[in-house]
């Protein structure tokens, strides 16, 4: 199963579609989220969404409140 997520490039604000099955790592660097891809043409991109935003958009919220 493959998930396509729509992210916003940090530098340009343009949309960027990511095949989530190819993302090998995801971490924060200040206010940026870094997605690291796997495979022979591996690269990294910076997006504005947090990892929680990305997962919530495509998998729904966990239903756990932050209170």
Contact 28, 34 (CB under 8 A): yes
pLDDT tens track for 25-42: 888 898 888 888 776 667
Cα–Cα distance measured from residue 58 to residue 24, given in angstroms and rounded to the nearest whole number: 17
pTM to 2 decimal places: 0.50
pLDDT tens track for 4-63: 778 888 888 898 887 766 778 888 898 888 888 776 667 788 888 888 887 787 677 654
């Amino acid at each position: 199963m493959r998930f396509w997520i729509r992210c916003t490039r940090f530098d340009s604000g343009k949309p960027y579609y990511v095949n989530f099955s190819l993302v090998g790592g995801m971490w924060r660097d200040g206010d940026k989220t870094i997605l690291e891809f796997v495979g022979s043409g591996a690269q990294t991109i910076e997006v504005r969404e947090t990892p929680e935003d990305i997962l919530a958009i495509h998998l729904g919220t966990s239903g756990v409140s932050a209170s």
